[in-house]
Structure formats: C-alpha cells, structure tokens
Amino acid sequence: MDRPWTQHYDPGVPRDPSFETCSVLDFFDRSVAAWPERPAVTLKGRTLSYRQLADHVDRFTAALAGLGVEKDTRVALWMPNLPQMMIAFLATLRLGAQVVNTNPLYVERELEHQFNDAGVTVVVTLDYLWMHKLRPMLARTGVQQVVVASIPDYLPFPLNLLAPLKLRRTGHHAKVPREANVHLFRELIARTSPQPPRPSLPLDHLAVLQYTGGTTGLSKGAMLSHRNLSVNVQQAASWFPDVRPGHEVLLACLPFFHGFGMMVGILWPLSTGAHIVLAPNPRDIADLVKSIHKHRVSLFPAVPALFQAITTYPGVDRLDMSSVRACFSGSAPLPVEVLARFEALTGGKITEGFGMTETTTATHGNPLHGLRKPGSVGIPFPGTEARVVDLETGERDLGVGEEGELIVRGPQIMAGYWNRPEETALVLRNGWMYTGDLARVDADGYTYIVGRKKDMIIVSGYNVYPDEIDQLIFSHPAVLESATIGVPDERCGERVKSFVVLRPGHSLDAETLQAYLGGQLAKYKLPRDIEFIEALPRSSMLKILRRELRDRELQRGKEATSA
C-alpha cells in the first residue's frame, strides 16, 4: 500500500525493518553482559547494577519454580513501580508463564473478575494490598500462592528502617502473618540459589495478559506474545536512533501495570542498558522534578498531565532540567502550549504518539528531529500500516482530511482477547485492528485523533468531537483543563456540556467562555452548559475519565426526574 509517511522518517529509522528473532529476555541478557556494573534501577537512593538485577531475577525465577510456576501458569503482578515489580515480571517470563498486570487501585470486584477470568494461581503483591484487599477475598479466586513484598525491602539504610513507620500511618504498610501459602519476597530472594530453569520458548508464546481499563464494562485481557513485546521494543529503539546504549537515564513514572509503562518503563530501557530511576507515585510532582534534576534524566516518557504539571511547578525554572533530551507522550492529546513550554524549560524534544493496550504500546509517533506536526500523533512506526475507513462498513478507505475510524496492522498487534472470541472478531478483521478512535490523515500521512467513537456527541445529526472543543477551551489563558461530554437532550438528541478547571488565581464565567468559543466553533458544537469544578476525574494513567462525568450527569437527570 502507499506509505507517504516513510519519507518523513528521521535518518537512521528503517523504512522496511527486519526485526531480530530475539525475546525481550534476550535483550536484557545482552545488557547484563555489556554493562554488568552499570546502574540498572534506583529507588530513593538505593541502586541495583545490571549484574545485581540479573542475580535477583534468577533467584526469583528459581523461587517461582519452587512454588509450582511453570509454562502457562498465570502470575498476577499487583504493585506500583518498585524493583520487585521488574524482577517478578522478568522472572515470570523466564518460566514461560504469563504476566497478568494488575492495577493497585482495583477493588475487590475488579480483582475477583480479573483473577478468575485469567485463571491466576500465583500473586506477587505488597503487604498492605495483601492484608487489606486480597486476603479477605482469596477464597473466591483460584489463587494458590501469594508472594508478599514490602516497599522498604529495596530502600537504602536508614530509610528502610524509618519508612515502615510513615507507611503504617498512611495505611501503606502492614504486618504479614505466617501462613503456609504466603511467602515474603525478600526471604525468597535471600535463600534461593540463582540457578533457575530456562525453558525454550517460541516467540509466539503468550507472554502477557494485559487487561483493558474496562471503560465499557468488565475488563478484557489482551493477549500479547513474546514477539509482540520484542517487536515493539525494537520499533521504539528504531524510532530513537540517537539513543546512546549504556548511557541514558530514564525516569519511570508511568505505572508498570499499564501497557505504556510496561514497555517504556521496563522493557525498552532494559534492552538499551539505560539507568531506570523509579517514581512510584506519578502524582508527586515535586519528586519528579527533583529526580530529573538530581539524576540528570535524559529520557522522560510521560502523559500530557505530567508535562503540564512540571511546567507549572513552583520554582522549576530555577532548576537545571537541561539533561532531558527525548520524551514520548501518549495516552491523551498533548496541548501545543504544554509541548512548547516543556521544551523551552528543558531544551529536550517531545514526540507525541499513539498506541493502545491491544497494540502492545505504540503504533504512531512524531519524528523527533524531522517534520513534527503538533496536535497530530505522527506517522506509523516502522513495520506498521494505518488506514482511516468509513464508520458504516469499516471497509471503504477515506480520503485526505476525511474523518473515520483508524485501523492499524503490524507485528505488535495482539493475538486477541483472552476467552473472548466474539469480541476479538469485532476488533480484529482481516489482519487489521479496529481501534475505535476517530481520526483523519493529511497528505503527508500524519494522523490526527479527533475522538473516540463512544465519546462522539451527535447534536441534531451532526458529529461533535469533544477533543476539538477541549483544545479550544484550554487555549483560554484562565483555563487549566477541561472535559467535554454529550448529555441527553429531548430536542436535539444530545447537547454539549463542558467541565472546566480554572488556573489558580483566575476567574471566568460561562458567558465569557462561550463568547470566546463563539468565533471558533460552529453553533451546534458550542457548549450549551459549562460547569466549573475543582478537579476532573482521572484514571491511574492520569487520563481524564469522561465516562465518570457522563455517569454523574445521568444520575443528576434521574434525580431531577424523580423530584
């Protein structure tokens, strides 16, 4: 097919890539062999070298095997960004078992569904999560063995002694009673010989069950193979050809349990010998700023909310942030103003991209040095094809600038949803992944996401895309952020409503904002309702949850009808 975007690839990015038949474990082993004494991971001042990290991975692999983990055992990893998460991830893959990444914020209902749906028999988690959430519901799952880690396990002295006191006060530390099927992470590492089994695994063997966020109901497990992981790591490496193997420092603030954080926080940096600085709490902006400054971070994958928060952090302009060279932004649209402010602050460059759980991570990105088009998610990665098709049949290719559904094809696409053949058939058709994202493509092949199919608002038969409205609202100097939804309307089906958060110290009323938008939007797109709120609901990836706003409005409507 015609691929006009390849002419805009940076020098060194392959037009027709040939991917190595190696797994992400092979890439990690290469890094250990090449840079055994280089820092691999740092948490609050304690650092493991690549040799030490590999030793802990081998010990934990042997420990898991001793607990009965073998090929095709499902192991749930349920914790924030800690060394234990990285170690358990690699160890699980070593045995041919499947990683089931699990959100630490999940409640009992969500945990029970995911563990039973995946057939999880082993869980690696933290002490407070085990005691307060999993232990009370264990009998309703098939979990047989639990490995319990503690945050202080990998903290330096004396922080490892002081931290439990503070963590206990905030409910993030708990004493674990001795039970036959409960094992302490630190004890397994200490007493297990580092001589694990290493079964031979084909690249198409299942590696990860990466569950979707469940925005339309119960979450589904995307089946990602070792090939999917390996190819996407190689695609990321090819997209940043001037990354210096064995020299970069990457700040890992995106949650590892999320596909984006898994790839750019663990697998890609380990494949290139990077020093990974952990930030377990991405909402702690002071810690992010301090880490960039202190560790001379050069690679910073993040989401728009974090780029924005850093640029507005008090006193950040007085710190030296010039070590940042390359950033990757995904998960949500990146406002042009935020991109400009962050690049002016650091001197680095942000490449905005696109990906989803079902595509391992990325399928698109803006070139780092070539033609960047702010507001677009860029062009397809090497080895990836993309089309925009009509919404009615999903088969007719649309022309330049026409809006339809984005579909993608490439070696990073999942095999399907775990135990969901009907839902798999809806999104995987003839080798193409139907993303559910509404997009348009320009003459150069650059893709612009205009919204989600389920977020699209239909006003009197006209399509309205919330992202377009939110971008314009954000451009008002008094606005910090906004989220636009459709609410039921008897006369026109739906009407547009925007929720707006103002910048500290600024004031604005609905009429003034509507007047500001009036000259930039067609009348049917204008928000008829504007509500000013203190904060927008967000997911663990800091993505704005329009679904919660819609649910809130529906509940208000029901209450008004009852009244």
What are the pLDDT tens digits along the chain (563 aa)? 578 899 999 999 999 999 999 999 999 999 999 999 999 999 999 999 999 999 999 999 999 999 999 999 999 999 999 999 999 999 999 999 999 999 888 888 889 999 999 999 999 999 999 998 999 999 999 999 999 999 999 999 898 888 888 888 888 888 898 899 999 999 999 999 888 888 889 999 999 999 986 444 578 999 999 999 999 999 999 999 999 999 999 999 999 999 999 999 999 999 999 999 999 998 899 999 999 999 999 999 998 889 999 999 999 999 999 999 999 998 777 888 899 999 999 999 999 999 999 999 999 999 999 999 988 999 999 999 999 999 889 999 999 999 999 999 999 999 999 999 999 999 999 999 999 899 999 999 999 988 777 777 888 767 787 888 998 998 999 999 999 999 988 777 789 999 999 999 999 999 999 999 987 887 888 999 999 999 999 877 677 888 889 888 888 877 777 77
Q: Is residue 440 part of a domain?
A: no
CATH of the domain at 244: 3.40.50.12780
Work out whether strand 432-441 and strand 447-452 pair parallel, antiparallel, or are unpaired.
antiparallel
Q: Are 212 and 220 in contact (CB under 8 A)?
A: yes
Q: Residues 379, 364: contact at Cβ < 8 Å? A: yes
Residues 487 and 525 in one domain: yes
Residue 480: CB atoms within 10 A of its CB come to 16
Residues 378 and 496 in one domain: no
154 and 191 co-located in one domain: yes
Where does 119-206 have alpha helices with state H? 127-129, 135-137, 159-169, 185-191
Cross-strand partners of 46 = 43
Strands (E), 212-248: 221-225
- Domain end point (choices 378, 401, 434): 434
DSSP secondary structure, 461-478, as one string:
TEEE-HHHHHHHHHTSTT
- Determine the Cα–Cα distance for residues 411 and 225; give it in Å rounded to an integer: 10
Please give the structure tokens belonging to residue 290.
């301090």
Q: Do residue 424 and residue 539 come from a single domain?
A: no
- Structural domain including 540 reads 455-562
Looking at the structure, tell me whether residues 317 and 427 fall in a common domain: yes
Residue 521 sits in the same domain as residue 407: no
Quick check: is 315 in a domain?
yes
DSSP string, 479-491: EEEEEEEEEEETT
Q: Are 263 and 141 found together in one domain? A: yes
Q: What is the DSSP string of 157-181?
A: TTHHHHHHHHHHHTT---PPPP-TT
Shared domain check, 266 and 136: yes
Q: Are residue 498 and residue 415 in the same domain, yes or no?
A: no
**Residue 435, Cα to own-chain centre: how many angstroms?**
16
CA distance 229 to 312: 35
Give the CATH number of the domain where residue 557 resides.
3.30.300.30
489 shares its domain with 401: no
At 268, phi and psi to the nearest 5? -65, -50
478/423 same-domain check: no
Residues 6+ apart with CB under 8 A from 248: 269, 272, 273, 274, 275, 298, 299
Q: Is the peptide bond before 39 cis (omega within 30 degrees of 0)?
A: no
> What distance in Å separates the CA atoms of residue 386 and residue 445, rounded to the nearest whole number?
9
Strands 326-329, 349-355: pairing kind:
parallel
Residues 56 and 124 in one domain: yes
Q: Is 441 inside any structural domain?
A: no
Question: What's the number of domains the chain is made of?
Answer: 2
Q: Is residue 488 part of a domain?
A: yes
Residue 450 lies in a domain: no
In sequence order, the β-bridge partners of residue 299 are 250, 326
Work out the number of other CB atoms within 10 angstroms of the CB of residue 482: 25
The whole-angstrom separation of Cα 417 and Cα 355 is 17
Specify if 381 maps to a domain.
yes
Own/partner pairs, 417-422, CB within 8 angstroms, 24+ separation: 417/220, 417/221, 417/222, 417/223, 418/117, 418/118, 418/209, 418/220, 418/221, 418/222, 418/223, 419/117, 419/221, 420/220
Of 368, 399, 434, the one marking the end of a domain is 434
Q: Which of 434, 468, 485 is the last residue of a domain?
A: 434
* Residue 133 placed within a domain: yes
Prediction pTM value:
0.85
| Residue 448 burial class via C-beta count within 10 angstroms: exposed 0-12, middle 13-18, buried 19 and up | buried
Does some domain include residue 70? yes
